[in-house]
Chain A
Amino acid sequence: MRKLFSLILLVFITAAAAATAQTPSGDWILQKVDENMGSDNKIIVAEMVIRGRRGSRTIQSKSWIQGTEQSFTEFLAPAREKGTKMLKLGDQLWTYTPSTDRTILISGHMLRQSIMGSDLSYEDKMEDPVLGNLYSAIVVGEETFLDRPCWVLELTAKKTDVAYYSRKIWVDKERYVPLKENRYAKGGKLLKTFEVKTVTRIQNRWVADRAVFKDVLKKGDGTEFILNSIEFNADIPAYIFSKAALRK
């Protein structure tokens, strides 16, 4: 009887050890996500489908991104938005509209407003995209999403000046692409969601090429992002990240 009990205990301990060995740490998964998503420079051409009460409209843009601090976006279509540009330098964001020929620093109240009526605010654009810099993660479960096995991570801010205190992300176990994300307020209220629809492989990286970002406090179906092209580690001239480039 004692032998049998010892055997069962041994099996349990072995199984638990095996399970522990198979489940990587949350921080390690987050690091893999950042490695997959991040690069020094990238050039992205994307479409943003904004669904409003009076129908939907599609805005096409091209972005030049350098690290986490600098980005430059130029809107290409529709004609009404064509030529509008946005420049992020550190914690400052400027916009330029050709119709007024004016460059405006977006700050304070204006940061809370949505970008062209989308579910994305200027504040969201200002965020550091490297999650590992901002959050510590723990694995809270495993789920299947989009027919892909995922780790479910709970992210808690490790700094005090992070926009979203906590997040929950579903990370593809093999591709290390976040397929779903919930962003929460400090008090625990769900504020924004991000759901990937399709994933594609570009330059040996798995990238979400169709996703929906939604401000859950707002009515509506959210804003869909469609990736037209992405070029990692692209050669970007330095002048792009200057205020002078906004007027060019």
Chain B
Amino acid sequence: MVIPRLALRNVLGAGLRTWLKVVVLSFVFVVIIWAQGFINGLNEQAEQAQVAAEYGGGQYWHEKYDPYDPFTLQDAHGRIAEPLQQFIDDNQATPILIVQGSIYPKGRLRPILIKGIDPSQRIISLPSHVLHLEEEDLPVLIGSRMAKSTGLQVGDFVTVQWRDVRGTFDALDAQVVYIMSTTVQSIDNNQIWVPLKKLQMMTSMEDEATLAVIDKNMENPQNISGWTFKNLDFLLSDIRQLAKVKTFGSMIIYVILLFLSMLAIFDTQILSIFRRRKEMGTLMALGLTRGKLILLFTLEGVLQGILAAIMAAIYGVPLLLYSAAKGWTMPQITDSMGLAIGETLFPVFTAELIIGTFALVLIITTIVSYIPTRKISNLKPTDALRGSLS
């Protein structure tokens, strides 16, 4: 118990030099946790929004459907299989038919996807109920980004052109009945939503669909012939991959911050070993082994890390709690990043993140504190007492 007490006394005794390092290190703690918390929040918010608005509890895809291959989309539709129809009848799934087409807002051609959805569905949060309006020939629901890029407003008519199942052109004047504000760009950009039955009729694809979204609470979806089930792990893999990339990008900043603070600790340790030779010699003369001396100096470095953690907790906890409650208002440009991020981003600080950061900083501090003390192993007590270092 002598060594920890001695280490603590030495650290506190160093006064301003110690506190300067502790402040810098505590700043590193808070910045890493704060920044990583926002990345976690971004990831979680995007996932939740995507699940609520598009993925539900997973999706059954028609066997030819590949959202990344526009060449196959025109063939990616088929009659809804019997077990899938049973899910739909039990309100556990909702079918979506996707057809390629064009619209002509203000006389300009715009290739789009026409997506048919059941107006009475409750599986995803898309406001499909607005498509119930019977008086319109073709009621259309669009997202705010689509509305902005096309200049369309509620009540506007726009010509929609498509090809039916056999490839014959058809066109109709559709009316925009609602503009939804959504963070999920994959249900907004370059697409319009119309009633499913109407689209099936327009394209002569009666009772057909491209995919079906299942309810979030549905467990163990069965395999259905001709339809491939895609679970959330698969559907969200892109977002998770993106979050990983962003985390990696932020790590560069963490590394720079850690490097700067560790440089300070490393420097102090080297300086200590040089300046405190006589003290080391005295301690060795009093019976302290070289190993214990190394432990003492290493512990001094580690204690600085612990003090930094305590200081970070003192001013960091209120700061992080405030951030978590108030969030961070995102700039307009974030909307084009491809992630479903709301206007305000709320960070998520998990125990894993806090403990992980604490452990990481402490381990690095220990290593950095230990490396310069290795010189002590060559130290002769007589030389140390004379003030020289061999």
Contact = CB atoms under 8 A, between A and B. Distances in A.
A201 B86 CA distance: 66
Contact of B168 (A113, A162, A215, A217): A162
A248 to B, nearest CB: 26
Interface of B is mostly: mixed
A185 B169 contact: yes
Contacts of B106: 219
A105 B172 contact: no
Nearest to A164: B169
A108 B74 contact: yes
Interface stretch (A20-28, A33-41, A186-194): A186-194
Interface string A202-221: 00000000000001011110
Interface string B285-303: 0000000000000000000
A21 B104 CA distance: 46
B302 to A, nearest CB: 58
Contact of A219 (B72, B100, B108): B108
A110 interface: yes
B356 to A, nearest CB: 45
Interface of A is mostly: loop
Given A108-B71, A219-B107, A191 B161 contact: yes
A191 B169 contact: yes
B71 A107 contact: yes
A109 B111 contact: yes
B166 A217 contact: no
Interface residues of A, number: 25
Given A112-B102, A217-B161, A189 B172 contact: yes
B273 interface: no
Contacts of B54: none
B109 A186 contact: no
B107 A218 contact: yes
A187 B170 contact: yes
B70 interface: yes
Contacts of A112: 100-102, 109, 111
Given A108-B100, A109-B111, A218-B108, A186 B169 contact: yes
A64 interface: no
B111 A165 contact: no
Contacts of B208: none
B235 interface: no
A165 B168 CA distance: 6
Given A109-B111, A186-B164, A219-B108, A191 B102 contact: no
Nearest to A107: B71
Given A108-B70, A110-B70, A219-B108, A160 B161 contact: no
Given A112-B100, A191-B161, A217-B159, A185 B107 contact: no
Interface of B: 70-74, 100-102, 104, 106-109, 111, 159, 161, 163-164, 166-172
